[in-house]
Amino acid sequence: MSILPVGVPRVALRDVAQLFLNDEQSEVLHFSLIIRIDDADINVRELGAYLSLMDRIYGRLTQEGLRSYAQSKNDQIVVREVRRGSIELIIEQAIVQSRDATPLIILFLFCKYFSVIAKASAEALKTGADAYKVYQDAADQKENRVLLSVRNRAEIAKIDADTDKALEEVRVSKENRRLLRQQMKHDDLLGKLDDNRRRQLAILLEDMIEKEGRQLPAAERFARKKVLSVDIAKERTESEDKAGSA
- State pLDDT tens for residues 84-135: 777 888 888 776 554 578 889 999 999 998 866 655 443 444 444 455 565 5
d(CA 38, CA 58): 23
User: For residues 117 and 79, which has the higher predicted lDDT (pLDDT)?
Assistant: 79
pTM greater than 0.85? no
> What is the pLDDT, as a whole number, of residue 167?
64
pLDDT exceeds 50 at position 79: yes
How much is the pLDDT for 52? 93
Question: pLDDT value at position 126?
Answer: 47
pLDDT in tens, 55-77: 999 998 888 888 888 888 888 88
Question: What per-residue confidence (pLDDT) applies to 89?
Answer: 87
Distance CA 187, CA 190 (A): 5
Distance of CA 213 to the CA centre of its chain: 13
pLDDT band at residue 143, thresholds of 50, 70 and 90?
A: low
Mean pLDDT to the nearest integer, 16-42: 81
Structure confidence at residue 27 (pLDDT)? 60
Q: Pick the range with the lowest mean pLDDT from 108-117, 144-153, 155-164.
A: 144-153
What is the residue-averaged pLDDT of the chain? 76
In the predicted structure, residue 49 carries a pLDDT above the cut 90: yes
Torsion, Cα of 125, 128, 131, 137 (10° steps):
-160
